[in-house]
Structure 1
């Protein structure tokens, strides 16, 4: 039975039902199924290209569409009456055509599972269309050096912008954190909306971070710009140096293990001699057990070296597995065995500690942070 006897369809919808070879079928206006949506493909594609040219960087894409349910229902009704089975429906054909046009126009690759840019298209009954562009997060492997004291790693209390921090030290210097300054900068260079951090260890706000720096990951949410220049200094302001090493789409599945060298400044309740401090070398190649919240955990100490003695004060260099609580290890006020105060039989307090260097361990660490691998 001739399809024209039932409904008036556009060329694309006729072909999709298997009637493309029939002659003398006039072009429908409007089409019963799609209301001539298929004829607007070129217009939609041009509008989409114009939208992504507003600063979006991407190599791969995926397009999804939400069509009016009435379009699907009308096509199902016709196919039921004509007993048409096993053929593409309007949504699949529309998406296939639009993806092909977009791909060829911009020379981009279609990626169904993990695209750089996801494009959600909504079309209403009047064939008005609306785009929602969602860039996939990027994960930046970074490292930082902190050459100025008084900078906490994580945000606390009142947040400020990097511009405020750079503008007035006296007003903002005691409130800004490394997290805030780095977040503001990374949002600026990627045009992202938010930054989530995955830290690999931490330090006190009065601590310096020296050597090759402390590694960390920064996940940029909805970045317009994602082609980041690697291995260049990204930020060098007011004692903070930030390096962006490389970019990927995923955070590591497991926590990275690391070893750090820490210089610790200690004050005791009385004068101490070098002979008394010799017992601290017994901490080398020992396992330290300490309380972390409600858990008892352990960290290995590889070496302890006394580097300076001055009356009640002394400094030592500690190479240990990452995650050892330094102030707890020195003072022993909370559970920590063995600890420096206990070995000396003296009340000791950590004045400050600096991170001299950090080395990562494991094959994945080698691939991501090659210059920080031990």
Structure 2
């Protein structure tokens, strides 16, 4: 049967003595733990927290050299301590709200706010200071810095992201001329290289709203992206200056650089934006041929042979919203996200049905491809 609560004003004195006696028999507690749990007794060397509240100032004697503007705190307690506290709370029918972990978090947040003169941020902090009480040390977790923008790619020979060698996976081998990657650079590396320099970080991740083929240009108002800078030492940046420096490389252009967050990365990845392409063909399209293809609105498309080694072999239904003719050998096609445009033209040996080639009954090839619009806004 659960024991009555200690702080009940109507608790008989004999019961109070019994509770204190039971508690002493179970574990010896310090003054902080007695007060936190609403108990009475003589403070002793604590068998629950190890008198950690008397040692906090020693634990707080650490430095952190990375720039940050807000923070949060985490606490790691060993399982034995958690089990002891659980037993006390259950045996004495105490409230589970005033746990050791919650009390430590409250105290540490207050003291760190005074130490660094920074604000507490619960949802998306720049850094989380993890207090490992078993090892008696502080482990800072420097959270990623996110920057978003849009990019254009004006050349046809660089990928969007780093393309590691398929043989050595980045280690370097004779196949990749010991460079570890298949291409000299990428949109990611051009953008990331500049930002890493200003943030004094070592690693980054590039998140794009889809990707164009290596041999396709990205024109129009660009493709949305978020670059994640991991463990930055500098967070306050002149984004206009960084944008100008990136744009010295005339192979790409970035615009609208601004700070972002992890939530926007998730939204970007979930987004299924329709796209508009300019498709250059190896043959002219006659007026009669165009009349036959301009009303094409839906296709069945099996995973193309050229990407089958890295994509699941599935059949997908994809929509085409509009087909226009720019000139005799160039089509403007607006279509659903995930449609493979080159195979829409060729048919990919019957894996895309219908295709432009099958409709006009000619063997057409896409000789060049430009993305001119991502319809995200």
Tell me the TM-score normalised to structure 1 length. Answer: 0.69
Matching residue within 157, 162, 166 for 2:164? 157
Instruction: Tell me if 1:141 matches 2:161.
Output: no
Quick check: 1:288 aligned with 2:288? no
Unaligned ranges ≥5, structure 2:
1-16, 171-179, 304-313
* Aligned residue among 195, 204, 211 for 1:202: 211
CA distance 1:14–1:249, change in 2 (3 Å): same
1:100-115, aligned counterparts within 5 Å?
Answer: 100-115=110-125
State the shift of 1:146 in Å. Answer: 1.0
Tell me the equivalent position of 1:255: 270
- Show CA shifts across 1:267-317 (max 9, x none): 13xxx5x7x24532553353130413221321213131232x5xxxx3333
Partners of 1:110 and 1:57 in 2: how far apart?
11
Q: Does 1:63 align with 2:78?
A: no
Q: Is the 8 A contact 1:299 1:323 kept in 2?
A: no
1:354 to 1:320, Cα distance in 2 relative to 1, 3 A: same
Change in 2 beyond 3 A, CA 1:156/1:290: farther
CA contact (8 A) 2:275 2:335 kept: yes
Please give the alpha-carbon distance, in whole angstroms, between the structure 2 residues aligned to 1:258 and 1:151. Answer: 23
Shift of 1:33: 5.7
The 8 Å contact of residues 32 and 74 in structure 1, kept in 2 or not, is answered as: no
Distance 1:19 1:257, change over 3 A: closer
Counterpart check, 1:264 vs 2:276: no
Provide the C-alpha distance between the structure 1 equivalents of 2:347 and 2:93, rounded to a whole number of angstroms. Answer: 80
Q: Is the 8 A contact 2:323 2:331 kept in 1?
A: no
* Residue of 111, 127, 136 corresponding to 1:129: 136
- Pairs within 5 Å for 1:1-374: 12=32, 15-16=35-36, 34-47=49-62, 50-51=63-64, 54-66=65-77, 69=80, 73=84, 85-86=94-95, 88=98, 90-124=100-134, 129-158=136-165, 174-190=183-199, 194-226=203-235, 233=243, 235-236=246-247, 237-243=249-255, 244-250=257-263, 251-252=266-267, 255-268=270-283, 272=284, 276-293=286-303, 294-307=314-327, 309=328, 314-334=329-349, 335-360=351-376, 373=377
Kindly provide the CA deviation profile for residues 181-220 of structure 1, in whole angstroms up to 9, marking residues without a partner as x: 4455555455556544443232221222122111233444
Pairwise CA RMSD of aligned residues?
4.3
Q: Secondary structure at the match of 1:323?
A: coil
Aligned-residue offset at 1:249: 2.4
Partners of 1:230 and 1:32 in 2: CA distance: 53
TM-score (norm 2): 0.68
Task: Identify if the C-alpha distance between structure 1 residues 152 and 281 changes in structure 2 by more than 3 Å, giving closer, same or farther.
Answer: farther
C-alpha contact (below 8 Å) 1:281/1:305 kept by paired residues = no
CA drift of 1:10 comes to 5.9
User: 1:65-98: CA deviations, max 9, x gaps?
Assistant: 3258469849978x98xx7955945444333211
On the 8 A contact 2:320/2:333 being kept in 1, the answer is no
Structure 1 window deviating more from structure 2 (345-354 vs 189-198): it is: 189-198
1:239 deviates by 0.8
Going from structure 1 to structure 2, the CA distance change for 1:278 and 1:143 (only over 3 Å counts) comes to farther
Deviations 1:142-168 (A, max 9, x none): 3211122211224333388xxxxxxxx
CA distance in 2, matches of 1:111, 1:336: 51
Secondary structure at the counterpart of residue 103 of structure 2: helix
State the 1:252 CA deviation. 1.0
